[in-house]
């Protein structure tokens, strides 16, 4: 069995699966039950000045029979007094000394506020702190959460204030409600962060009830923007994690968050640069015991690939994630249909005919049967037919020899500039 232990910026954990700061980590009772179930770590529900939450506060997007494809909330930080949380954090750490217990914090962007909360929380014995610069609703209106997390200067300053007194590692949790995630990731690094975690929730409105015309959810007939998470946000989170991981100025480890529901999701986040992952929606949907499948699945995967430690996954795919301008424009694939497994449903033909390049034809084979065939010279290799095909393996995308030598957009621009005698990048470099 592979070694599942991780160490995120000095925070040791028996496995890479942590619960994210959210309802599953609201109390000592819950976090202790989660550790018993197998979770390697937990980030305690964000502490700060006591908050009154709204009722109701959750909503979900169900898509085509899939329940909770996305999850939306207008909940804020903890609604329990600081002293009670601190007492339970102390008891939990004492009972589970080898699990990772990180506490999430959010206070006003004032130096003395950060000093005060950091000292109070560290006094009860925690493994690390996570600064929540992410909540897109409620706290943002008070200048906290994503309101400060969208401003690199404030991220840097607040991280620095926390670091001035912190004895344990400081993780900065980033908001995805920003154009360039690396701007705040770099600010966190400049402020002295030991690690970053991402993503927090995405600004959203879950829906509108077409019978009552109320927003979903609504509070006495009024709604407000909330935070979106769950499986639907995974691609966004994965991109942001990868974007940070490949940026040379983001020099700290990453805790990946956003739509992680299975061990496979966790592997993808780790390949794209995360040291470990955090989970919220999947635990809320299915309960703490999903971690058993996550641990088993990850163990089997690592064993099958002959990997001794989960840490060997971290960052292995980052170098494959490039700017568009560095992709080979002359690389080519085409679709091939396996007529033995094809059930002749015609979905690929419709997709290509209506919305791609009109190159799947109905022809008659030697036995006089009608079959579908790709006119390869016109196929642009868009993948659409393979995506809509309901039969696994009936359409394969096959690499074909291009007629031109490999050339990226950036190389092409450079060559064009040189041909035109303009100030191409080469010339600039030479100067």
Ligand X SMILES: Cc1cc2nc3c(=O)[nH]c(=O)nc-3n(C[C@H](O)[C@H](O)[C@H](O)COP(=O)(O)O)c2cc1C
Active site (catalytic) residues: 135
Is 45 a binding residue for ligand X by CB under 6 A? The answer is yes
Which residue number, 272 or 351, has a Cβ lying nearer to ligand SF4? Answer: 351
Residue 75 touches which member of ligand X, ligand SF4, none, C-beta under 5-8 Å by kind: ligand X
In whole angstroms, give the CA distance from residue 107 to residue 115.
10
Residue 219 touches which member of ligand X, ligand SF4, none, C-beta under 5-8 Å by kind: none
Which residue number, 106 or 374, has a Cβ lying nearer to ligand SF4? Answer: 374
Residue 117 touches which member of ligand SF4, ligand X, none, C-beta under 5-8 Å by kind: none
Residues 248 and 319 sit within 8 Å (Cβ to Cβ): no
Residues 71 and 228 sit within 8 Å (Cβ to Cβ): yes
Burial class (CB within 10 angstroms; exposed 0-12, middle 13-18, buried 19+) of 67: exposed
Residue 384 touches which member of ligand SF4, ligand X, none, C-beta under 5-8 Å by kind: ligand SF4
Contact pattern for ligand SF4 over residues 355 through 384, marking x by CB under 6 A: -xx-xx-----------x-x----xxxxxx
Listed ranges 94-102, 273-281, 312-320, 337-345: which one lies at the site for ligand X (CB under 6 A): 273-281
Residue of the chain from 35, 75, 88, 191 that contacts ligand X (CB under 6 A): 75
Contact pattern for ligand SF4 over residues 322 through 351, marking x by CB under 6 A: -------------x-x----xxxxxxx--x
Listed ranges 15-23, 107-115, 151-159, 208-216: which one lies at the site for ligand X (CB under 6 A): 15-23
Which residues of the chain form contacts with ligand SF4 (CB under 6 A)? 335, 337, 342-348, 351-352, 356-357, 359-360, 372, 374, 379-385, 389, 391, 394-395
């Amino acid at each position: 069995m592979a070694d599942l232990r991780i160490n995120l910026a000095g925070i040791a954990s028996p496995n890479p699966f942590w619960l994210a700061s959210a309802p599953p980590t609201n109390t000592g009772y819950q976090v202790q039950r989660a550790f018993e179930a197998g979770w390697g770590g937990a980030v305690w529900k964000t502490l700060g000045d006591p908050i009154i939450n709204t009722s109701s506060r959750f909503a979900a997007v169900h898509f085509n029979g899939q329940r909770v494809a996305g999850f939306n909330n207008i909940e804020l930080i903890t609604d329990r007094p600081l002293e009670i949380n601190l007492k339970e954090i102390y008891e939990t750490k004492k009972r589970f000394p080898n699990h990772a217990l990180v506490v999430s914090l959010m206070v006003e962007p004032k130096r003395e506020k950060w000093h005060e909360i950091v000292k109070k929380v560290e006094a009860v014995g925690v493994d690390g702190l996570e600064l929540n610069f992410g909540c897109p609703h409620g706290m943002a209106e008070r200048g906290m959460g994503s309101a400060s997390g969208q401003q690199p200067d404030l991220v840097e300053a607040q991280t620095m204030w926390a670091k001035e007194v912190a004895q344990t590692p400081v993780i900065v949790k980033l908001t995805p409600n920003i154009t360039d995630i690396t701007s705040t990731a770099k600010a966190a690094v400049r402020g002295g962060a030991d690690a970053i975690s991402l993503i927090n929730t995405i600004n959203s409105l879950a829906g509108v009830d077409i019978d009552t015309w109320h927003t979903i959810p609504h509070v006495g007939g009024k709604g407000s923007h909330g935070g979106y998470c769950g499986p639907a946000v995974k691609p966004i989170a994965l991109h942001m994690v990868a974007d940070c991981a490949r940026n040379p100025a983001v020099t700290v480890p990453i805790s990946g968050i956003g739509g992680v529901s299975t061990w496979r999701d966790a592997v993808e986040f780790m390949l794209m640069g995360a040291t470990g992952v955090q989970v919220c929606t999947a635990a809320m949907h299915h309960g703490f015991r999903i971690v058993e499948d996550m641990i088993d699945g990850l163990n089997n995967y690592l064993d099958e690939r002959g990997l001794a430690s989960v840490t060997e996954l971290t960052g292995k795919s980052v170098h494959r994630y490039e700017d568009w301008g560095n992709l080979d424009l002359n690389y080519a694939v085409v679709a091939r249909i396996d007529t033995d497994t094809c059930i002749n449903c015609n979905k690929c033909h419709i997709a290509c005919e209506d919305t791609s390049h009109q190159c799947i034809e109905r022809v008659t084979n030697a036995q006089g049967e009608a079959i579908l065939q790709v006119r390869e010279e016109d196929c642009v290799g868009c993948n659409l037919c393979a995506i809509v095909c309901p039969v696994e393996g009936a359409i394969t995308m096959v690499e074909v020899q291009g007629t031109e030598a490999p050339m990226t957009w950036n190389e092409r621009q450079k060559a064009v500039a040189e041909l035109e005698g303009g100030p191409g990048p080469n010339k600039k470099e030479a100067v």
